[in-house]
Amino acid sequence: MSASGGGAGAGREIERVWTLSARPSIPAGAEVWEIEQGYLAPIAADEASLAKAGFPEGRLRRIVEPGGRERFFHTIKRGSGVVREETEREITREEFDAAWPRTAGRRLAKTRHRVREAVAGRELVWEIDFFHDLPLAMAEVELPDERAACPFPAWLAPVIAVEVSEDARYRNAALAMYGMP
C-alpha cells in the first residue's frame, strides 16, 4: 500500500504534494476516508526490546473507509523528496492497539478525499487532506515516475498554493511531531 492506500508491500513512492489556499470544491463521487496516524517513538535497540515492541520504527495508521470499514497499517518510509522507499503492511487491530501508545505526542488526524481523474490516457488519484488540528489543507498525487506530468484538475487548480514535495517540514511525520512550519 502506498500513502494513498493503493497497494501492498515494499517499493518506491513517487509523490508530489502542494499546500492549498482554500478548500476546493470536491467533485461528487470522491471517496472520503478518516485517517488517524502516529509515529513510533524510538525504543532500545536490543533484540528483546525489538521483539516485544513488534514495530521498531515507522508509522501506524488507522483508516475508516466509506461504509465504516476500518483498516490498520504499519509503514516505513525512507528517503526524501518526490521519490522515497516505502514498505507497508496491513496489520490487525490488536497489533495496532498494542503499538499505538508508543505514538503519544506524535499523532495527527485528517479527512482525506480521494478523487480519480483521467489525465492523458491514465488515471491519477488526487488526495486532498484536511487536517483536524492544524490550519492546513494539502493535495497530493502519486505518479508512475518522477518525470510524469500531473496537470491540476479544474476543480483543484484555483486553490493550489505552494508545492512542498521537497520540503520535509510538510511531511506528515514532521507535522505530527512539530506542527505547522
Residue-wise pLDDT for 128-156, tens only, equals 999 999 999 999 999 988 888 889 999 99
Q: Could you give the C-alpha distances from 91 to 94, 97, 129, in angstroms and in order?
A: 8, 10, 23
**For 47-80, how does the pLDDT look when each residue is reduced to its tens digit (9 = 90+)?**
445 445 566 689 999 999 999 999 999 999 888 8
**For 4-35, how does the pLDDT look when each residue is reduced to its tens digit (9 = 90+)?**
444 445 688 899 999 999 999 999 999 999 99
pTM of this prediction exceeds 0.95: no
Q: Could you give the C-alpha distances from 10 to 1, 90, 93, in angstroms and in order?
A: 8, 12, 21
pLDDT for the residue numbered 1: 37
Name the burial class of residue 30, with classes exposed (0-12), middle (13-18) and buried (19+) by CB atoms within 10 angstroms of its CB. middle
pLDDT for the residue numbered 27: 96
**Which domains, from first to last, does the chain contain?**
9-178 (2.40.320.10)
**All 3 cell numbers of residue 6?**
493503493
